[in-house]
Amino acid sequence: MFRSGSTIDGAGPALVKKIFADLGVPTDVLYEGTWDEVQAKARSGDVDLLVAAYKTTEREGYMVYSDPYTTDPVAIFVARGKAFPFGSWDVLVGKKGVAMVGDSYGQAFDDFAASRLTLTRVTTATDAFNLIASGQADYFLYSLYAGDDFLKKAGSASQFESLPTFVDEENFYITISKRSPYVSYLPLLNQELAKYKADGTVASLIATYKNR
């Protein structure tokens, strides 16, 4: 998923639009601010649905979750030539990391990061990669696909690399705010998801956007 002007584009938005069109519900996938701001709007009910989210205990308090529809590798991005061996999360202890405001990396890693890691939180990927480039951070925790897409569009893929081993690989879910009138659509949403996973639509959408 990525911002495209005032909207969000990508496999997740395309899938959500397709599902809700089948259900007779017109859908707009708008850019509603930073990821942290969007989650706050889901909590208040100002946003009905998130097209892709990891599952955490906190988020389950204010959103209901669909069945998972794909997985998302969480990568460690570093300045090119500054890669380090990574075999366990403990390797990150003592290093200076950067992460996006509001991002989760799975409940287990979130708990580990809160107690063991030093992370600077920023609001844009541009800020994160600038911190790495300047040496103010050693690594950036980010979705592999989102990071690769950002670097490709920014023309700076030659300046950075991701470690071959992922921090984690998390399920992606569609979520509906518990304050939304559409929360009752969850069973129908899951039926549509199952259909589109089985017939290859989900895999096709992901492949289309990954190869753009």
- Residue 106 has a pLDDT of 81
- Residue 114 has a pLDDT of 94
First-to-last alpha carbon distance for the chain, in angstroms, is 12
For residues 105 and 180, membership in a common domain is answered with: no
For residues 176 and 206, membership in a common domain is answered with: yes
For residues 178 and 90, membership in a common domain is answered with: no
For residues 32 and 108, membership in a common domain is answered with: no
CATH label of the domain that carries residue 199: 3.40.190.10
For residues 58 and 136, membership in a common domain is answered with: no
For residues 82 and 157, membership in a common domain is answered with: yes
Q: Give the Cα separation of 69 and 64 in Å (integer).
A: 15
For residues 185 and 201, membership in a common domain is answered with: yes
The answer to whether 123 and 100 have CB atoms below 8 angstroms apart is yes
For residues 155 and 176, membership in a common domain is answered with: no
Q: φ and ψ at 134, to 5 degrees?
A: -85, -5
Residue-level pLDDT, tens digit, the chain, 212 residues: 888 899 999 999 999 999 999 999 999 999 999 888 999 999 999 999 999 998 989 999 999 999 999 998 999 999 999 999 999 999 999 999 999 998 888 888 999 999 999 999 999 999 999 999 999 999 999 999 889 989 998 999 999 999 999 999 989 999 999 999 999 999 999 999 999 999 999 999 999 987 77
For residues 65 and 84, membership in a common domain is answered with: no
> 170 exposed, middle or buried (CB, 10 Å; 0-12, 13-18, 19+)?
buried
For residues 160 and 79, membership in a common domain is answered with: yes
Domain count, the chain: 2
- Residue 34 has a pLDDT of 87
pLDDT in tens, 71-124: 989 999 999 999 999 999 999 999 999 999 988 888 889 999 999 999 999 999
Which residues does residue 169 pair with via DSSP β-bridges, in sequence order? Answer: 73
How is residue 36 written in tokens? 């942290």
Range of the domain at 11: 2-70+171-210
For residues 14 and 57, membership in a common domain is answered with: yes
For residues 50 and 103, membership in a common domain is answered with: no
The answer to whether 202 and 71 have CB atoms below 8 angstroms apart is no
